Structure 1
Amino acid sequence: MLRKISTLLLSTLVAGVIIVFLLSRVWDELLITLHEADPRYLLAATLICLLAWYMRGIRYRYILMRLSVCVSTTFSTACIFVSQTANLIIPARLGDLIRLLILRHEKETTYTVGFSSLIVERVFDIITIALIGAIALPFVVGQTPWFSLLIGLVLIAGLLFFLVLFISGRFTSENRILAKIFEIMAQIRSVSLTPPALVYLLFSSVIIWIIDCLVCVMVAMMFGETVPIMVIVLAIVIGNLVKAVPITPGGIGTYELALAMTFELAGVAPGIAVLIAIVDHLIKNLVTLGGGALSVYYFGDWTLSLLKRAFSGDIRGELRDRD
């Protein structure tokens, strides 16, 4: 228990130090800019963020349908909301595992089905982000070479993943662990490796991340800043790729640092860059928390107990049980 608490405190401390560092550099400029902010764009950003969540729910419903799990869009959206809310307080993205237990409890699915659905969602998110970033790169002046390296490595990793996914269908194994891995690979292939499914998942993922970028556009406009759209796109891409490495809960601190750094490299004033980064993530996290609270009410009180077990680390023990 002490080790679990220490891990949580350390990751939270890292997030806090980064945020304080960013604020301390531009505090006076931040106060002036906040005073002049237009709240109408804040409302627009919040509504757009909600739309992105709804689109995520539609995509996840499709993924589950391909795995022969029939749910409503409300159910699929609520499922994502609960797991992402948990990720805001639990290190190492262990909140994602909550989704497996929700599907098991509500739809009597196996853990492998839940895990496969999660992998498909994550893979298409990461690959889509990298593709959008690759398109934005040539239009952004001042970006550093490691941006290209990071995006290129992600795209290569995605290509290798699909290559392994394709050839894994030729293998079988009597080993229980390998057999389970091949089962998950087969489920992922059934979801994503047909032309209609590939087109649907890529198209819906592109829409989701364009909407996510529009939230940041509204935040910039709220502070009266005209930031080139490709700069915002690249910042969101770099921020989410950095956020994918679970250093802090919900990527708090690391996401803001990546966004602010990208904005500054592209010529945005430091104060504005920090403010846009912090408010953008704050809106997305508050919408996540609000949606998570409503989703707990939607699923019932048992999900509160589930969140408590996830926070204490007991959730991993439950997932070790056989399907």
Structure 2
Amino acid sequence: MTDVEVSVVLPAYNEEDTIERTVSVTLETLAAFLPEDAFEVIVAEDGCADRTPEIATRLADEDDRVRHIHSDRRLGRGGALEYAFDRADGQTLVYFDTDLATDMRHLEELVESVRSGEYDVATGSRWMPENRADRPAKRGIPSIGYNTLVRGVLRSDLKDHQCGFKAFDRQAFEALAPSVQDEHWFWDTEMLVKAQRRGFSVKEFAVDWEPKGDSKVDIVRDVFGMGSQILRTGWELSVRPRITRRVSLGAGTALVVVALLLMTQYLNPHTVLNEMAGADPALVGASAVVYALSWPLRGARYRDILQSMGFRERWDFLTGAVFISQTGNLVFPARAGDAVRAYVVKARRSIPYPSGFASLAVERVFDLLTITLLAGVVLMGLAATGSADTLVGAVTGDVAGGDAAASGQTAIAVAAFVGVAAIGSVVAIVASAHSDRNLVRRTVGRLSDDSYADYVAGVVERFVGDVQTVAGDGRSFARVGLASLAIWALDVVTALLVFAAFGYPLTPSLVAVGFFAVSVGNLAKVLPLTPGGVGLYEGAFTVIVVPLTPAGIGVATALSVAIVDHAVKNAVTIVGGVTSMAWLNVSLTKAVEESRTAADVEPEATD
């Protein structure tokens, strides 16, 4: 049993020039208002590369009130504080920056505010009217902007969230720490915001503050890092709790209903239903069979992608995983099914989340590239046979069509832009895969060289490295490319069979139009607006077909073809998804919930 009531943690990273004086001043200040055995000073040495560990060990040997907690690698400022607080003995947990920028005469008020039981959390502030703080523009302007964002986005009542001078009651800390996700500079802010949201009493009081040394404001950490953390926390606290499964399904359904209601203003629904009723059921069934044939190819393609990353799995299991993920995209908005696949391969085959998401990125790049290549082949084929006049006329506006022709031109321009972007992405990935230069680290290093930038670069490197691995394996690259061509060809053939079911002969021009309609429709589905892109696919498909087939297909027929085509594909997907969920014993709802966060890895540290 210890008599320690107050534990003061000094987060230290390469502080060999200041740590000894900081410990001495801290001990002297605490001894002025606390009994000698009522406090401890902990040097939370965070994977230092200088003499800080040796100095901290010596100080701990010389004074029983001093402890040294060492980490073999960087935990980050927040991670180091949590690690030390977990091992501290006191009921009042305190920390402040080792540069002693905050006047130490405020330490008694900080400690006693919590130790007395009056407050759960206490924090110094440099932005209250009565305080004195020397704030150069280089520090002051970013700080004002940051705190304004936190107050506005996260609805905090505090004026200064980043002052390194805080105290917590142990019970409050233990209640809050598990919910805090950041391990770096945003840790302070997240603790304070969540303390207010949870109803803990928080005291903010003015402190005299004088900057010591150079400012550590930097683009990656402060703009990208902390800015993104504000948005992430705002989403977690204010948005995500309101996006329930019922709300998601309701919102997606409402969007589809609104789109259909608007469509009735210029299109008679009975005409569409009559067109659909006249379709040949045998050919519609054949289209379903053709589309079903593409799914084993999807599983085989995913197997080749993962194999090049060092994971060997059976194509049948992976086909089931793809089925489940695509079913998730039909049920939930925002393409939640993509994360579901990463969850399934992680839960069933222990494939790490970064590799799961990287494999998805590879698929997306190949899909976009395949669309572009097929478009080029179709156009060259039409030009070679002299059958491209109608298509070219519609695209260039030479064929009458009014606004519809203009819409077709816009859609083709969008498809061309995405295609060029896909080619550029593949070229960049292949080039980087065959380069000895670390492009990620080099790019991030131009913006920042601090520890947070190093952390960001490490995460990006792990993701990009998996993508580059696939691009660097020639055989795997070729197999994935050929599988993508076959998958997309079958996707287009499915739509063409639906055209045939409506009585249209498959002329070269219609084949080209069918490809463009399917490709642009699938591009529209990328927008996470409705579950499965229902309504988006049909609208884009119709916009392409009408202007590019001026000789015969009207809006009602084009929409009917789009509805049947999409319905066939969704029906095959759902049947395969339900079957795969039963086979692999996967709950789609649980998969969506579990896939929202990736597993955290416990850092190694020693006391």
TM-score scaled by length of structure 2: 0.49
Partner-residue secondary structure (3-state), 1:182: helix
Give 1:109 deviation, angstroms: 1.5
Q: Counterparts of 2:561 and 2:264 in 1: how far apart (Å)?
A: 12
Q: Are 1:16 and 2:257 an aligned pair? A: yes
Match of 2:596 in 1: 316
Aligned mates of 2:257, 2:501 — CA distance in 1: 25
* Distance change >3 Å, CA 281–CA 21, structure 1 → 2: farther
Equivalent position of 2:524 in the other structure: 242
Equivalent residue pairs, number: 317
Is the 2:308–2:473 contact (alpha carbons within 8 Å) kept by the matching residues of 1? no
Partners of 2:330 and 2:532 within 8 A in 1: yes
With over 3 angstroms needed to count, the CA separation of the structure-2 counterparts of 1:54 and 1:285, relative to structure 1, is same
Cα shift at 1:250: 0.8
Q: TM-score, normalised by structure 1?
A: 0.89
Q: What's 2:287 paired with?
A: 45
| Structure 2: gaps (5+ residues) | 1-240, 396-407, 442-450, 603-607
Please give the secondary structure, in 1, of the residue aligned with 2:394.
coil
Deviations 1:191-250 (A, max 9, x none): 123333332222211111110011111111112123511111110011111111222111
For the 8 Å contact 2:372–2:420, the answer to whether it is kept is no
- 1:146 maps to which residue? 410
Q: CA deviation at 1:38?
A: 1.5
Q: Return the match for 1:294 from 563, 566, 579.
A: 579
Contact 2:375–2:516 (CA under 8 A) maintained in structure 1:
yes
Cα pair distance change 1:170/1:19, threshold 3 Å: farther
Aligned to 1:155: 419
| Bigger RCO of structures 1 and 2 (CA < 8 A, at least 6 apart) | 1
Structure 1 match to 2:343:
101
Greater share of strand residues, 1 or 2?
2
- Identical columns (%): 28
- Distance change >3 Å, CA 6–CA 43, structure 1 → 2: closer
Question: Take 1:112 and 1:235, find their aligned partners in 2: how far apart are those partners?
Answer: 33
Q: Tell me whether 1:36 sits opposite 2:278 in the alignment.
A: yes
User: Is structure 2 residue 448 aligned with structure 1 residue 167?
Assistant: no
SS at match of 1:70: coil
Find the structure with the greater CA-based Rg.
2
Q: 1:55 to 1:21 in 2, by over 3 A?
A: farther
| C-alpha distance 26-265 of structure 1, shift in aligned 2 (>3 A) | farther
Q: Secondary structure at the match of 1:92?
A: coil
Query: Does the residue aligned with 1:316 lie in a helix, a strand or coil?
Result: coil
Q: 1:321 to 1:16 in 2, by over 3 A?
A: farther
Residues 202, 314 of structure 1: alpha-carbon distance in 2 compared, 3 angstrom cutoff:
closer
The RMSD of aligned alpha carbons is 2.3
Which residue matches 2:484? 205
Shift of 1:2: 2.1
Q: Distance in 2 between matches of 1:230 and 1:212?
A: 13
Higher helix share: 1
Contact 2:365 2:426 in 1 (8 A): no
Structure 2 distance, partners of 1:156, 1:184, is 23
The corresponding residue for 1:86 is 328
Q: Equivalent residue for 1:57?
A: 299
User: Distance between the aligned counterparts of 2:375 and 2:263, measured in 1?
Assistant: 24
TM-superposed CA distance for 1:134, in Å, is 4.2
Following TM superposition, by how much is the alpha carbon of 1:161 offset from its aligned partner in structure 2, in angstroms? 2.5
> How many Å apart are 1:7 and its aligned residue?
4.9
Distance 1:56 1:229 in 2: 23
